[in-house]
Structure 1
Amino acid sequence: MSSPATTTVTATPRRQRIMCGLMAAVIFTVMLVVSILLKTHTTGVIAFRTSDQVATTGLGIAMAAATVYLSRARVDADASGVRVRNIVGTHTLPWSAVRAVRFDENSPWASLLLVDDDELSVLAVQAADGERAVRAVEGMRTLLAASRADGVRSEAPHPAT
């Protein structure tokens, strides 16, 4: 063997995390500036108070937190299986439940083709991350192939017949 077998694969969407972090900082900064300037401007009909400033700042914090939450995608794979955490939900699958690791040329992210003919998007492996994404897909494919070759079979959900 020319290179040691891949034992674990961990991937996160680097570019998405950077962009979400920057956007969260911009959102919070804009909302903070708006809340500071809120008391200095009035329409004559509405007088803004300190509570309005606090609420606007709180809204900025909530919006920034929601933006950061979009970057929570992650995939962890080892010899026993793969754990995929997307924006909403986490899936832990044994390799026996996975038919193939797919990453098409024009696809924005990778996906797992499952034995029950479902497809699970892997948002942590994104085309925008370039070589990092390719290495993650190759690592998952190596682990999948090793599980087939070694006969490593975990209990997997089988479709009803």
Structure 2
Amino acid sequence: MSDDTGIQKLNHRESTRVEDVDAHDPANQQPTGTGAAAGAGGQSGGLSERQAYAYNALDPTAMTSTKPWELEIRSKRLKVLAWVVVAVVMAVHIFMGAVVDIAYTGASITPIDKWAFVGVGIIISVLGYLAFTRPRVRANADGVEVRNIIGTRFYPWAVIYGLSFPQGSRMARLELPEFEYVPLWAVQAADGAGVVRAVADFRELEAKYMPQD
């Protein structure tokens, strides 16, 4: 009986010693926190689709790419529209500055007041031009960067479901998970043959880099 008890105690001590060694062995320790997330990402080749989308949604500047861009799309029609806006705004403000003192209204109009109309027109024209020429779409092996009139976002290929151009729509859109999408102001239907080539070039990169699952 004492022999059995002694053997049990010996086995218990040996088991405890092995567990202590394993617990202190760095190779057997499991990463936690950020390290665990990084390890999981390394094993799977990157963040999961849901993780990447959630991460990018929380911080639009969190994701970007340092690789060379393989495709850049801008709208020629928007650039033409920008110049039209400049011409119309400047014409209106120059006309207002020229005729503001034709009829006496009781207020004293000075040359500074007349030139102020031109100055305001210049400011509005510059802002309008910058707004309409800002939209751009760039793509490379990492993902797609979308810059619209307001805001710039980068989307990795893991969260992209493709580029679509709904019938009757003025611009294309980038399809995302959960039935969401981002309008692509740089890809305008009004650009005609140019937008057809742009969509074809984008879909070549889409077929090359976008995950199939």
> Common fold, TM-score beyond 0.5?
yes
User: What does the per-residue CA deviation read over 1:41-84, in whole Å, with 9 as the maximum and x for residues that have no partner?
Assistant: 13241221123123211211122123212231111112221111
CA shift for structure 1 position 29: 2.8
Q: What is the alpha-carbon distance in structure 2 between the residues aligned to residue 27 and residue 14 of structure 1?
A: 20
- The correspondence of residues 3-152 of structure 1 with structure 2, limited to 5 A, is 8-39=70-101, 41-68=102-129, 69-148=131-210
Q: Which has the higher contact order (CA 8 A, sep 6+)?
A: 1
State whether residues 126 and 133 of structure 1, in contact with CA within 8 Å, keep that contact through their aligned partners in structure 2. yes
Range moving further from structure 2, 19-28 or 87-96: 19-28
- Comparing both structures, which one devotes a greater share of its residues to helix? 2
What is the count of residue pairs matched by the alignment? 144
Range moving further from structure 2, 137-146 or 29-38: 29-38
Q: What is the alpha-carbon distance in structure 1 between the residues aligned to residue 105 and residue 204 of structure 2?
A: 68
State the AA in 2 paired with 1:117: F
Structure whose alpha-carbon radius of gyration is higher: 2
CA shift for structure 1 position 36: 3.2
State the AA in 2 paired with 1:122: L
| Percent identity between the two aligned chains | 30
State the AA in 1 paired with 2:171: W
State whether residues 42 and 48 of structure 1, in contact with CA within 8 Å, keep that contact through their aligned partners in structure 2. no
State the AA in 2 paired with 1:31: H
State the AA in 2 paired with 1:120: V
Q: Relative to structure 1, is the Cα distance of residues 108 and 114 closer, same or farther in structure 2, using a 3 angstrom cutoff?
A: same
Secondary structure at 1:70 match in 2: helix
Where does the alignment leave 5 or more consecutive residues of structure 1 unmatched?
1-6, 152-161
Secondary structure at 1:75 match in 2: strand
Range moving further from structure 2, 50-59 or 102-111: 50-59
> TM-score, with normalisation over the residues of structure 2?
0.61
> TM-score, with normalisation over the residues of structure 1?
0.79
